[in-house]
Every structure is written in C-alpha cells, then in structure tokens.
Structure 1
C-alpha cells in the first residue's frame, strides 16, 4: 500500500481550483517533504484525492459495469472479466477489483494531508486581496479530506467487511502487520467523522460571501454539508442491513431512519428537489437540483461509455451492458401500478412494452425504438436476424440495450465523431427517500406507520419518488402487508436506481444472493406477418454465499500474515 508518488500532475477532474504540478520526491517514509508546501500544491493534493473517487462507466472491466455482475444486465461478450463474478472464476488470486489497493492509496493521501499539512499560513500570500478567502478554503480542505477518507472506508467495509483502520501515516512495514478492524468499528468511525465535520463544512459553496474566491467558478464538485449527511445516512442503512446486522438490532434501523431523515430535511432546507427522471443524466446532470455529490469526469468530454453500449449494428457501437428481462419485469404497468404478471395489470403479451412505467423507456432500448442514438436512421432490431440482434457477434443476449447514462447526441460515425461530458452520481436525493422508506419501515414495523419522530411513512416516502413529473406512477395504496410492501419496495429501488451501482450491493446487504443465481433473457423472433414472438429464457449463474463479501486479494494476504481471509474464500 505504499504510495510511491503523490502527484505527477494534477488532473482537473472535479472542476475545482486549478493548480500547478506538484513537486514530489521518492522516500521510504511518508513525510512533509513529499510536497512543497505552497498553497497551490497543498490544495492540489486535495484535488488529487478527489480523483480517486469511484465511478462505473465501464472503465474497470473493459466496458463491463457492475450491473452486468448482478441481475440488472448481461454483458454481450462472455469473455469479459465482469462475467468472472458469476462464472466460477472469482477468487483471491483473481479478485476482479482494485478497491482494496485504490482505497488505501487514497486513505494514505488523506492521512498525509491531515498529519503533515495542517497549521500552514502561506505568508507569501498574506498581502494578497484574496488571502482570507484562500485561507478559508485551506482550512475547509481538512473537512473535505476527512469526508473523503470516511467515504473510502465505507467502500472498503461495504465490500470486505472488517478491514484495517488506518487513521495516521504509516510505513509499509507497519501496514503489513495490521489486523482487520471489525465492521462495526469501521461504521462507527464513519459515523463519528461525519458528525464531527458536518457543522463545519459549508452547506453551499455558491454562497460564501467574503470567503468566495473571485477568480473561481462555483465549486460544484466539492463535498459539502449535504454530502456528509448523505454518507452518514447511506453507511447507517448498510450497517442496519442483515449482512452487517445479523441479530436485527432495531436501534441500528432507528439510527438509519434518523440519518436519512436528516438528509431529506436538509435537502428541503437548501432547495434540493426531485426533478425529471430524464434529467438525471446527460452532460449537464451535475447542475440538477437533485444531485448531492457527483464524480466529475476527466477528461471532461468522452464517448467511451457510448462506444461500449450503443447497439452493435449501429456505426461505432460495440454493445455491452444489456438490461435483463429480470430488470424489465420490475417496471410496472403505468395505468394500474401492477407488475406484468399480476391479475388485472393490463399487460398485453403481444405488445409487452406498451403502457409501462415511463422510467422503462428512459433506461432501456427495446426492439423497434427509433433514433437511438440520434444519428441512427433505422429502427432498433433486436429480434433474431435483425440488424442489432443475433446471430451478429456482440448482439444483445437479452433483447435490450442500455440507454441510461448514455448521451443520445454522441455521434460515433467516422466523419462526425464527437464527445460529451459525463458525471457519475454518487449521492442524489431520490436515493434517500428510498433509504428513509426502508429504514423507517424496518424500525416502525409496517409501511404505513408513523410517529412523532417520523411523521412520513414508508409508503408516503416511496410515493414521492413515484410522483416525479415525468413518471407519475400510481401511488402505493395504504394497507399493504409487510411482505407485499417489501416486494414492491425492492422493485421500486431496482427501477429508480438502475445502473447506478446500487442493485449489486443491495442484494448483498439484504443477504438475498440467491436472486443472483439466474437471470431472464427475452428472445424475440419476427413472424411472417411482421408480428413478434417473445420467449423467455432462464440463464443460470453461479452464486455462493461467500460472495456476500469480496475476497481480500491474495497478494495482500501474502504481504501481511495478520490479515485473515473472508469466510469461504
């Protein structure tokens, strides 16, 4: 876990303050001499920590997203490493993921900043007009770094459970003697850090008054008070969930409900609102008033996501993460609010996509869709023998292509190729209505229950999500049984948060891994009269309960004999 160099050049990933290249030296110990303590270099170190934030546009698995490692999607090319999650190839020697190494490298950078770069005064800037504003930013950087460190620990505990808790700079030799800290203690650390900084970090960087830097644009990529509350709330929900709460300690659900309510209350106070579902992605989604915290991309404009996921058969498209029929089945009928296989739903098996939840068409490309992407002049044909279907190499195996997060205006034709800006959602308001609904349901014991502490019921919270201006799904009725509400809640969460890296983790924290033992595909054939026949195909996948947690990389176990491997690995 040795960080060999701090920065060789600052990537302007987050549209933060620009900064010069850092001077760095190679040392065997972490010490202040790594970075010349100029203002630009010190704040640049913070900027570089932001670049370590995770995202999932297919960069980790040659196009594969975590959605294709669960029941949301299937990758079109079975040789892709994302398929190792369910084909039996996953192991400590093939851990499939760099979260352990990347997170601890980022944590060491956080500890470097917090241990060695506090208490600076930058006297060379003291006579500058913006000195007070720069010092405000410098002091605030410490709170941002503590938030980021807690966030990286959340990613680690979510994935591995117990992990070493390192709060100060350590040498490589020390790192390789550390034992795993229990998951409960990691969650407690995250909670304590968030509580400690939440009232110190700004709620709104666009309203800093005399502390605003006149030469800087609004710093939308930086962690603020809402991001801190959101991290605390998400971590509390995971801590309360069965994977980390096997004895169902009801107080953990209570704390999760309180934390998620605090996010909702603060969002209301500071003007965060649910807008159109269609506006959650696109090159300007970072400015959406639902967004709490995002990972801004570098370089600023790309087209790799579209290249990975535009349909094969469309110029420049290579196919990739193909939504499953399992996901499609979670989209209710718009008129009735019922699933396709419920009595009285209104579902027509000869026209299976007519009248579905509007979020279906905003997330998934289906047979017959036109102008996807915008430069494509032909309808999408996912049926056997169609322009975008089998038996073409790389054609969708499920009958569908991905739309969500892809920019329809990206052009991949050789003569008109272009790029667009992409930003990955880390926290948005919609998640926290769902988190709150889950936590208050588990705490109060029924979907319609309220209390003086929690006047918004679980049912009412979910209905707020379903009432988006471009969704307007029928509200959940009162009086649902606990089982019926939970089943509907799981579907709602799958639909609302599709392809945002929630489903993969939700099924694990709920300990519902058996749902990952198979997926449904839809095979479509065109009849002589131009109609279609739709045939469901069940595809088995490998699931083992040891997969609730990731294996610690064998390379780390070999370096540190005090690390114990996760059960079953």
Structure 2
C-alpha cells in the first residue's frame, strides 16, 4: 500500500538484482543529501519506494498465485511458471527470486533513510505554517524504516534461513563480504527492532490531533503493524522448520506476543469485522479498517479479475481455481467435518449447509458469478475444463475478486486492491497454535495468558457462525482441527505456502490434488464425483528457497541444503 507521499523521480535508476544492489547511494543516480533537505516530499519519496518494495500476491507468477503451488488451487493454464515449485524445475539458476530482489532493495532504501536522511531539519521551511506537523511525520520515518527493514528480513529468513545482515549503508564490496547469519540471529534482530520501536512509532495515523495535516495517512506502519510483525516472526521461529530442538519457550513467547497484538487491538477499538467478505473487496481499506492491521494497496487495475474470472467471460483467464482439497476443508454448519459421522453431508448436494466462508471464497457450479449467468462447470459446460483454460477443479476463485469489475473490451473499469498482510483474525489463530504447542492441550491456557487455544479459535469461528471447537480432543486431533481452521480462514492470503513449510508437513498435504467432476444427466440434474486431478512429488530441500546462483557466488553464500 502506498504511503501518502508520491514518489517523484527521486530515485530514477535502473534496478538491478543481487545483494550488491544499491549498497552505496552515492554510486547511483540519487540526488545528494543537500538536495533532499530542500523538500519534505523528496524524503517522503524514499519512504514510498520502501513501501512499494513490500510484496503482494495478486497473481505474481504470470497470473498464478502462490496458492497454486499448494493444495489451495490449480492454475488453469498448463505450463505456467508456478509449476516449477512442484515439478522440480526451480533451483539456483531458476530461483524464483522476486522477493529476494525486492527485499534487498527495501533493506537498502531503509538503511539509506536511517543513515543519511534521519536528522534533516529543513531550515528553509521553518516558517511554513505546517512545519511542525510535517516534522512530526518526518521524524516518524525512522521508525517506519526500521519496521520495514525488519519486515524485509522476515520475508528473507522465512524463505532462505541464514542470510547476511546489512544494517547500514555500505559499498558493494562491503556488502559482498558480509557473512551469512544464522536464522536465529535474524529472528533475534527482527524481535529487537520491533521491541525497540513499537512504543515510539505513531499509534494511529487517523488520530494525530494537532499534528494532523495530510488528509490520507492509510497504508503506513503503525504500532500494531510493528507488534504484528514481531508476533508473526516469533511464531515462525517457534515452528519446527526453525525450532529444530523443540524449544517450548519459543511457543510461549509467540503466544505472549500474539496476545499482546489482540490486547492492543482491543484497546484501539478493533475487532473482527462481522462481514468476512468486506476484508477483501475494493473498499477494504475503508470497510475493513476495524480488523485489518496492515495492507498493501495496489493501483487501480482489472488485471486480477482478467486472470481469475471464469472462462467463457470476455477476456477472462480462468486463473487460480480452488481445489477440492480446500472445498472439503469447509465444515458443515453443525461444526462437523464432511466425513465425520452425523455431519449430514450429501455428496450429491455438496454445498448445502456448509461453513459460510465457502460461499465467500469459492464459486461453484450453478452459481451466478460474477454476473447473472449461472456457472457451468459441469463437463461440456461453458465454463468447464472442456474449454481451453477452463477450471480443472470444477471451481473458480471469489476471494479478492471484485465482481463489479468489467473486463470486456467495451466499458471496462478497474479498482484498487488491498493485499492483506496483517489482520486481527490471524493473531487469534497464531495465539491458538502457540498455546496448543506450549501446553500440549487445546483446553489449557499458558501461565499468565487469558485464553486457551480453543477459546482463541472460537473467536474466529463465531464470526463465521460456526459452533465452538469440540471438547475433549487429543493433542493430535486438536492440531488437525486447528490446521483446518487456518486453511479455510486464511485461504488465498499467502499463508498456506509457508505454513506447510514451517510445520514441515508439506508431503502429507501437497501430493494429491483433487477436483470435482460434474456430469449433467439427461433429466438436467447433476452428478458429483470427487477425483484426483494431479499427483505431485515433494523434495525436502523445497522447505527453503535456493539462493540465486549469481548471488551465491558473488556474495559467498553457502547454498541451502540440497540445492548445490
């Protein structure tokens, strides 16, 4: 999401890749400090560039989302680059390095703000009537930049593990000589940075009192964004991928930090938004403000809809089609899994009496989506796999897709999209996971904390109008229920790809991908048959990303295990 200030050519340069990029701002076409001091907005432009380096997942892989490298969805265009993640075609020479590039860029800009533009006084503007307000916001940049730097390091460590730690502006040669730091040290850096700044950064940009001047202050990191980053990083650090010795104290810390996010959010009048769908539509930055902690806003576009509208609509691409794996994860309204005794599930009326989040996430056969035409995903139907690029699973994506978007050649329109990075519901789930793993029970609260894992999950389930968690579940049964709850609540928000990796549970979920075969019978009724549509392999080296080969060589990085 862009900051208020508009990037105005301040850093018009060629962006190149690798950890050597832009290590010394004087080596590139960047105006010097004296020039920057002449205009508040010029320094603000650096912050805009930092925010612009925050990644989002609106079809990053030529239309595909990371969900289509998991059991959430299948991309309807065979041969797409997303397949590299599960067919073994990625590696050091095909390293999927989008975030590797953007994170190092963001770290470099953050260091530049902190080292070179941290103490400007703008003497030529002291008589400006809004000088005090502008300086108030300017001084906050140092905390925003530290948050951003920590955020980028989290994006790196969760993908790569051990990475260099660059905390100041330096030359390319200096940067190339930095040693890799253990993942534990990177997580410790993130934790300390967030702890240091969370009580100094602005709490609420919408309530600046006498310091308010700019009308729009959305999309900037505030206190809750800092606390959210710290809590999520703690959860990852406690997870099996990084917590190789099973240190339970890490789970306790993760629970404490997630609880702190929840408590701070309550204090600021936040809670779960009653309407789940409002978190992901075109006005989510307004309607979702009650729950959304931080989101990345894009410019107005209809590209996401072009990628994901059902085949059969003019200019539509079919896109990221939800799997039967995901659809089956949605419980019945009585709280039972579809394969659980007494659930009432009817295989020939499979979408009846299901968790309301299913209908808000997945478009099914016969549904009027995105317009008044009923979807025909049955074999031979207008939107089916019988049509080139039609759904291979029997479903289409609704979440994040704005059905008011017109993508036809005539009369097309476009809207902004908000990629939700932190929202409150996640931290109830994060708390539940940490509490469960620390206490060994879904029904025992960690010492000094107010909720059991079940109580935290029930907050999320209540919004969905689902019954409370069942009582008396064993640790393993509760864990399975928790993971299922996280699957459906956070579907298509970029979590699944990394959850299965940090849990080290990818093989059990990612090998068999299922869809729904629908046949229209002579009497017009439909016959539903689940089927396996893909059988995939898994290699444990995929738990971490490979370092791009050129950077592994230039920066003397030890390649991650299995990728050499």
Q: Shorter-chain TM-score: what band?
A: over 0.9
- Cα 1:293–1:359, aligned 2, differ >3 Å: closer, same or farther? same
1:90–1:358 Cα change, 3 Å: same
How far apart are 1:166 and its partner, in Å? 0.4
Residue 23 of structure 2 contacts residue 175 of structure 2 at CA under 8 Å; is this kept in 1? no
> What is the CA-CA distance between 1:478 and the residue it aligns to?
2.4
The answer to whether 1:563 aligns with 2:562 is no
Which residue in 1 is equivalent to 2:50?
49
CA distance, structure 2, for counterparts of residue 15 and residue 190 of structure 1: 22
Partner of 1:14: 2
1:316 aligns with 2:315: yes
1:284-303 to structure 2, matched below 5 A, reads 284-287=283-286, 288=288, 289-297=290-298, 299=299, 301-303=300-302
Residue 182 of structure 1 corresponds to: 182
Is the partner of 2:321 in helix, strand or coil?
strand
- Provide closer, same or farther for how the CA distance between residues 25 and 386 of structure 1 changes in structure 2, counting only shifts above 3 A: closer
For 1:477, the equivalent position in structure 2 comes to: 470
Distance 2:245 2:517 in 1: 43
Paired with 1:83 and 1:48, the residues of 2 have a C-alpha distance of: 31
| Partner of residue 338, structure 2 | 340
Residue in 1 that maps onto 2:251: 253
Residue pair 1:23, 1:34 contacting (<8 A) in 2 also: no
Secondary structure of the 1:100 match is helix
1:29 deviates by 3.6
Shift of residue 157, structure 1, vs aligned partner: 0.2
Report what 2:528 is aligned to. 534
The answer as to whether partners of 1:293 and 1:428 remain within 8 angstroms in 2 is yes
Q: Does the residue aligned with 1:302 lie in a helix, a strand or coil?
A: coil
Gaps of 5+ in 1: 1-12
The equivalent residue for 1:167 is 167
Instruction: Check 1:68–1:19 CA distance in 2 against 1; reply closer, same or farther (3 A cut).
Output: closer
Give the CA deviation at 1:534. 2.1
Change (3 A) 1:495 1:28: closer
CA contact (8 A) 1:367 1:381 kept: yes
- Distance in 2 (alpha carbons) for counterparts of 1:76 and 1:555: 32
Give the structure 2 partner of residue 373 of structure 1. 370
Whether contact under 8 Å (2:54, 2:102) holds in the other structure is no
Q: TM-score with structure 1 length normalisation?
A: 0.93
User: Is the Cα–Cα contact under 8 Å of residues 25 and 33 in structure 1 kept in the other structure?
Assistant: no
Distance across 1 between alignment mates of 2:429 and 2:181: 30
1:111-122 pair list within 5 angstroms = 111-122=111-122
CA positional deviation for 1:55: 0.3
CA contact (8 A) 1:290 1:428 kept: yes
Q: C-alpha distance in 2, partners of 1:77/1:340?
A: 30
What SS is found at the alignment partner of 1:132? helix
Instruction: Give the 5 Å matches for 1:23-38.
Output: 29-31=24-26, 33-34=31-32, 36-37=35-36, 38=38
Distance change in 2, residues 1:405/1:28 (3 Å):
closer
Q: Distance in 1 between matches of 2:23 and 2:86?
A: 40
Partner of 1:232 in structure 2?
A: 230
- Would you say 1:460 and 2:455 are equivalent positions? yes
Q: How does 1:480-491 map to 2 (within 5 A)?
A: 480-491=473-484
CA contact (8 A) 2:3 2:48 kept: no
Deviation at residue 15 of structure 1 after TM alignment: 4.8
- How big is each residue's C-alpha offset from its partner over 1:198-235, in whole Å with a ceiling of 9 and x where there is no partner? 0001111121122111xx21411110000000000000
Q: Which residue of 2 aligns with 1:206?
A: 206
1:28: Cα distance to partner? 8.6
Q: Which has the larger displacement, 443-452 or 73-82?
A: 443-452
- 1:24 is displaced (CA, Å) by 6.5
> Structure 2 unaligned runs (5+)?
15-21
CA 492–416 in structure 1, closer or farther in 2 if over 3 Å, else same: same
Distance across 2 between alignment mates of 1:403 and 1:28: 42
- Given that 1:178 and 1:563 are in contact with CA atoms closer than 8 Å, whether structure 2 keeps it comes out as no
Provide closer, same or farther for how the CA distance between residues 221 and 462 of structure 1 changes in structure 2, counting only shifts above 3 A. Answer: same
Structure 2 CA distance for partners of 1:435 and 1:149, relative to 1, 3 Å? same
CA distance in structure 1 between the partners assigned to 2:553 and 2:367 by the alignment: 52
> 1:437 touches 1:462 (CA, 8 Å); kept in 2?
yes
